Chain A
Amino acid sequence: MEILQLVLYGTILGSILALGAVGVSLTFGILRFANFSHGDLMTIGAYVVFVVFTVMKLPLWLAIIVSLAVTAALTAIIDKLIYRNFRNSDPVILLISSFGMALILRSLIQLIWGPSTQVYEKGIQLAIKFGGGLRIKPDQIIILVGTVLLIIALHLFLRKTKMGKAMRAVADNAELARLTGINTEKVILCTWLMGGALAAAAGIFLGLDTRVFPEMGWNILLPVFAAAILGGIGNPYGAIAGGLVIGISQELSTQFIDPSYKPAVAFAIMVVILIVRPTGIFAGRSS
């Protein structure tokens, strides 16, 4: 029963990682660089909910919507101001500039909200018990349901809408997309908006599950990248599976090793995958 409970916790952590990894994978697939500021965008998303929900005392669902919109817009603005100038540069330059962006965002967060740890709601949430003694907290139900809804929405967007198909086309072959007449700048804008919104969602859920503090997103960036690589970077569906695998392995590992080594599990999985199958479990794309 202990094992089942850990799998449940792992699924919750995995959902958060999956949302983060899908965002990383989407932006990588189209823009060809690993965005190191993705973790700090998650943190921004978490803090916007803190402001709207905890400080302004508005409903949580409204706070989540505002946060997704604000973070998405911020991501698009960062692209316009910074990344756009390096569109035709070496991907390494983009990578380093995203690293710089990560530092800027984190410093801004500390300037605005201070270095201390915050929680969305004070007090203890009672876990709901169900079949066979499994326990789950109401916030964790929100995380699971929210993740499923977002992933279904993303799937429908990528498969059914013209813009979603164009995003997949640009990920397949950006040059051919241009020759076909696809407006690639619009596709890039759309990709950033979605990447930003997904980052915000992951950050909010992480904040709901644990606490809100300036390094929260940066700390989780490694397992998020591990999940994206595991799923084959550039492949959003693989990223979902990768997130769940890493989340569940991290939780299950606490049965055998000290829980403080949990993050090392993600790292170990990433190293093994890079050696054994560099394209990920689901063949992703090489850049």
Chain B
Amino acid sequence: MSDVLLTIENVTGGYGEADILFDLNMKVHDGEVVVIVGPNGAGKSTAMKSVFGLLKIRGGTITYDGHDITHDTSDAIVRRGICYVPQTNNVFPTLTVHENLEMGAFVRKDDISDSLDRIYEFFPPLKEKRKLPAGTLSGGQRQMVAMGKALMLDPKLLLLDEPTAGLSPKYMDQIFSIVKQINELGIGILMVEQNAKQALGLADRGYVLASGKNRYEDTGANLLANREVAEMFLGG
């Protein structure tokens, strides 16, 4: 197995006084797709946000690439090479598509034109709409802007919070295939998905959470085949 990129170890924490995560453990290896599934309120998105310095962590550690990032700020984490795409409001609506991508590269000091070309090649629909405000795009295209913006930093790990939420089935398939393509570039992906069947289908490994705790952990295929998981969380 390849190197461990991200480790969440015995993490307990929440947004305010009350804890949402309890002794959570998770790992992402270099170039792996890891999916977090579970019922509503299981703490899936919260688990992801814990990595990005958006939580009060009261116990446990998060390490990335050998560094302890448990108490780092979001922008320090971005600089380390982790990018996060929130579920909603993940683009700057009044900025053009192009400006959104440029903002994605804000921490970079070097020339970004190669990266821009690469993103447009990766998401051809965005090239046509580069001069339009991102707020005028359809949901699926906005999701592409959000992902493209995150890819501008050449991250080693991408965190995706329900990238297909609210999209039509046509766009869902498209987003899943994009996630696969991104992974083929060698980028590790940690993803929360409501659409558990499809997500586990493309995942190397998956975690099932319930009430902020680890419930199951296995390869994507095994979780899909697991009767209990299917009945509990995947709607039969």
**B95–A180 CB distance below 8 A:** no
Q: Does B230 contact A (CB under 8 A)?
A: no
**A176–B92 CB distance below 8 A:** yes
Q: Mark A165-190, 1 if CB is under 8 A from B, else 0.
A: 11011011101111111110000000
Closest B residue to A171 using CB positions: B94
A180 to B89, CA, bound (A): 12
**B94–A168 CB distance below 8 A:** yes
Q: A172-B94, A173-B92 are in contact. Are A179 and B107 (CB under 8 A)?
A: no
A173 to B142, CA, bound (A): 15
**B103–A179 CB distance below 8 A:** no
Chain B 68-93 interface residues, beta-carbon cutoff 8 Å to A: 74-75, 78-79, 84, 86, 89-93
Q: A179-B74, A181-B74, A181-B75 are in contact. Are A173 and B106 (CB under 8 A)?
A: no
A97 to B92, CA, bound (A): 30
How far, in Å, is A171 (CB) from chain B's closest CB?
A: 8
How far, in Å, is B14 (CB) from chain A's closest CB?
A: 18
**B74–A169 CB distance below 8 A:** no
Closest B residue to A164 using CB positions: B99
**A181–B93 CB distance below 8 A:** no
How far, in Å, is B145 (CB) from chain A's closest CB?
A: 12
Query: Which chain A residues border B149 with CB–CB below 8 Å?
Result: 180
**A180–B52 CB distance below 8 A:** no
A183 to B52, CA, bound (A): 16
A166 to B89, CA, bound (A): 16
How far, in Å, is B181 (CB) from chain A's closest CB?
A: 22
**A181–B79 CB distance below 8 A:** yes
Q: Does A162 contact B (CB under 8 A)?
A: yes
A172 to B133, CA, bound (A): 12
Selected from B75, B95, B153, the residue in CB contact (under 8 A) with A183 is: B75
Query: Which chain A residues border B91 with CB–CB below 8 Å?
Result: 176
Identify the interface centre among A169, A173, A176, A181: most chain B CB within 10 Å of its CB.
Answer: A181
A180 to B90, CA, bound (A): 10
Q: A162-B102, A166-B103, A179-B84 are in contact. Are A173 and B89 (CB under 8 A)?
A: yes
Query: Which chain A residues border B103 with CB–CB below 8 Å?
Result: 165-166, 169, 177, 180, 182
Chain B interface mostly helix, strand, loop or mixed?
A: loop
A3 to B107, CA, bound (A): 53
Query: Which chain B residues border A177 with CB–CB below 8 Å?
Result: 92, 103
**B90–A176 CB distance below 8 A:** yes
**B92–A168 CB distance below 8 A:** yes
A173 to B93, CA, bound (A): 9
Selected from B75, B93, B102, B153, the residue in CB contact (under 8 A) with A165 is: B102
Query: Which chain A residues border B78 with CB–CB below 8 Å?
Result: 179-181
Q: Mark B122-147, 1 if CB is under 8 A from A, else 0.
A: 00000000000000000000000000
A116 to B2, CA, bound (A): 78
Query: Which chain B residues border A175 with CB–CB below 8 Å?
Result: 89
Query: Which chain A residues border B92 with CB–CB below 8 Å?
Result: 168-169, 172-173, 176-177
Query: Which chain B residues border A180 with CB–CB below 8 Å?
Result: 78, 103-104, 106, 149
Query: Which chain B residues border A172 with CB–CB below 8 Å?
Result: 92-95
How far, in Å, is A189 (CB) from chain B's closest CB?
A: 15
How far, in Å, is A136 (CB) from chain B's closest CB?
A: 37
A178 to B86, CA, bound (A): 12
Query: Which chain B residues border A169 with CB–CB below 8 Å?
Result: 92, 95, 99, 103
A162 to B79, CA, bound (A): 17
Selected from B74, B79, B90, B99, the residue in CB contact (under 8 A) with A178 is: B74
Q: A165-B99, A166-B103, A166-B106 are in contact. Are A182 and B94 (CB under 8 A)?
A: no
A179 to B52, CA, bound (A): 8
A173 to B103, CA, bound (A): 12
Chain B 192-221 interface residues, beta-carbon cutoff 8 Å to A: none
Chain B 92-117 interface residues, beta-carbon cutoff 8 Å to A: 92-95, 99, 102-104, 106-107
A179 to B82, CA, bound (A): 10
- In order of increasing CB-CB distance, the 6 nearest A-B pairs are A181-B78, A172-B92, A181-B107, A181-B75, A169-B92, A182-B106
Inter-chain pairs besides A162-B102, A179-B78, A183-B106, 9 sampled, C-beta below 8 Å: A165-B102, A169-B99, A172-B93, A172-B95, A179-B52, A180-B78, A180-B149, A181-B153, A183-B75
Give me 10 A-to-B residue pairs in the complex whose CB atoms sit less than 8 angstroms apart, sorted by A's number: A162-B106, A165-B95, A175-B89, A177-B103, A179-B78, A180-B104, A181-B153, A182-B75, A183-B75, A183-B106
